[in-house]
Amino acid sequence: MSDETEISALLRAAAGASGLAPRDHWEDQAARALRAIAEQRGATVSALLRDPEGRPSLVSELLDHLTIGETYFFRHASHFDVLLEALSARLADPLATACVLSAGCATGEEPYSVAIAIHARLGAQALARVRIVAADISAASIRKARAAVYGAWAFRDAPAWLEPRYFARGAGPGRRLVDVIRRAVTFEVGHVVHHAAGLPSGSVDAVLFRNVAIYLAPQAIADAYAEFHRALGPHGLLFVAPADPRPDGARFVEAGHETTSVYRPRAAAAEPHAEPAPPSRRARLAARLRRDARLLKKGPPPASSKRPAARAAAPAPRAAAPAPRAAAPALDARAAAARAAALADRGDLAAAVAATAALIEQPATAPAGYLLRAQVSMAGDRAGAAVEDLRRALFLRPEHLLARYWYVLALRGDGQLAQAIQQARVLEELLTKSAAEARLEDGETTARELLDALRLLRGGFT
Ligand SMILES: C[S@@+](CC[C@H](N)C(=O)[O-])C[C@H]1O[C@@H](n2cnc3c(N)ncnc32)[C@H](O)[C@@H]1O
């Protein structure tokens, strides 16, 4: 394949991983970025493009170049007045806590402005009661956000008191944010939709999704607004920038502030599209989880003539010698998986769980059954139950690579971060020993695809 074809494939992967709408200038930008990356690594562009091991980090580095990270402190200043008014009302109850999400936070000026505004106007005690979470698809931006050192340009529209009160000048030209504010924000590398999907329903008081949607493809915008609607509490607020695409009227309504880019979620009962019944939010999450499990699937599978046997029989992982499996139970497993997925899509998670019972009863299909039940539990925000089921699956089939991947996700969802990181290491080791193109237990995902996904996931742990 030519370099141009490889670059196009890389750009498709970058668009798929980020939801960014491809732009005309991407090819040129990617070519320039790849030359810079190759020089940094002491390699050639062709060698980079043909190294499957390096592909996930290449996609991630490419996203650093394709994204527009423009931001500054107290951008759209009136939003902070509206936000502070809402937070001060919420925190008037001495036992209340709050959560603010900065979705597409770039180098951190936005979520830090939130923390500073709370600290300056409501005090340190109030700030301690607000959880501020922020995510961006660009790993380089998040590294800068965590470092929290800023040049003068970041203060171009900031109030005069900001710099002397909240920043210290060091030896270099940058101003370093004080620790009390730096520690108030938690950053994650990731897609806004996936990041928001990890937040419990109704747990968020405000989402700042400003100057991000303008760069996204329509589906990613719709997914993001759907996730924010689910995550926001009934009195929550959604802030978008004046030039951003508006959220859909079925889910959000203008909050009635002077600034027209602040929205409130509509109550679920008031949603006009009740007929026919939309899939439940949990079912939509289930669908997303299953999509994730198929992981970065790229195009049609290779021509069957190349490896007929591998697709006809239920493929076994190459990481360890699995017990031989008869074809019939594997087909049953697929049919049961399809049944459970259909039930989850209809929002009937209880029936989806029940559909896994037959599998769990059979020793040959029990690991697949536990895996399915865990996926449904994850869709129902029950990561703890998923952890238990995945432990059972891995006890029966320690070499089950997809089950171990889900175990990592479930541990992370259950807040067991250290164990999640440890399991991610174990899985990475198993996957690097597998043949890159070996099909995993679902018969679709390859070892390389799972490794790509795992590395992207691990990037978000740090
Ligand atoms: C122009 S900046 C906006 C920063 C900040 N929200 C503001 O208004 O100042 C856009 C940011 O969105 C990020 N971004 C784009 N697509 C994203 C996605 N799918 N998930 C997370 N971040 C994304 C980019 O990396 C970039 O840092």
- For 194-208, write each residue's pLDDT tens digit: 999 999 999 999 999
Q: Identify which has the larger pLDDT, 225 or 358.
A: 225
Distances (CA, A) of 210 to 24, 113, 130, 457: 23, 13, 20, 24
Whole-angstrom distance, CA of residue 428 vs CA of residue 454? 7
**Residues 204, 233 contacting (CB under 8 angstroms):** yes
Report whether pLDDT(314) > 60.
Answer: no
**CATH code, residues 281-294+319-459:** 1.25.40.10
352 pLDDT tier (thresholds 50, 70, 90): confident
Which of 7-11, 78-82, 373-377 bottoms out in mean pLDDT, i.e. has the lowest? 373-377
Query: How much is the mean pLDDT over the chain?
Result: 82
Residue whose CA is at the smallest distance from ligand 1 atom 17: 137
Whole-angstrom distance, CA of residue 103 vs CA of residue 208? 6
Instruction: Give me ligand 1 centre to Cα 182, in Å.
Output: 19
Report whether pLDDT(304) > 60.
Answer: no
Q: Return the bridge partners of 136, or none.
A: 189
Whole-angstrom distance, CA of residue 260 vs CA of residue 216? 21
Residue whose CA is at the smallest distance from ligand 1 atom 26: 69
Ligand 1 within 6 A of CB of 280: no
- What is the pLDDT, as a whole number, of residue 324? 31
- For 129-140, write each residue's pLDDT tens digit: 999 999 999 999
Q: Return the bridge partners of 103, or none.
A: 135
The CATH number of domain 77-265 is 3.40.50.150: yes
Ligand 1 within 6 A of CB of 68: yes
| Average pLDDT value for residue range 37-65 | 90
Task: Give, in degrees to the nearest 5, the angle at Cα 351 between 347 and 355.
Answer: 125
Give the length of the chain. Answer: 462
Ligand 1 within 6 A of CB of 238: no
- What is the pLDDT, as a whole number, of residue 347? 63
Residue whose CA is at the smallest distance from ligand 1 atom 20: 191
Mutating to test ligand 1, I would choose from 136, 141, 219 the residue with most ligand atoms within 8 A of its C-beta, which is 136
Instruction: Give me ligand 1 centre to Cα 73, in Å.
Output: 15
Q: What residue ranges do the domains of the chain occupy?
A: 3-66, 77-265, 281-294+319-459
Share of the chain above pLDDT 90, in %: 51
- For 62-74, write each residue's pLDDT tens digit: 999 999 999 999 9
- What is the pLDDT, as a whole number, of residue 26? 95
Ligand 1 within 6 A of CB of 157: no
- What is the pLDDT, as a whole number, of residue 295? 35
In degrees and rounded to multiples of 5, residue 346 shows phi and psi of -80, 0
Q: Dihedral through CA 47, CA 49, CA 50, CA 52, nearest 10?
A: 120
Q: Report the DSSP pairing between strands 262-265 and 232-239.
A: antiparallel
Which of 49-63, 109-123, 250-264, 444-458 bottoms out in mean pLDDT, i.e. has the lowest? 444-458
Q: Identify which has the larger pLDDT, 44 or 324.
A: 44
Mutating to test ligand 1, I would choose from 141, 212, 239, 244 the residue with most ligand atoms within 8 A of its C-beta, which is 212
Burial of 406 (0-12, 13-18, 19+ CB in 10 A): buried
Whole-angstrom distance, CA of residue 47 vs CA of residue 451? 20
Atom of ligand 1 at shortest range from CA of 71: 9
The label of the residue with tokens 């700030």 reads 127
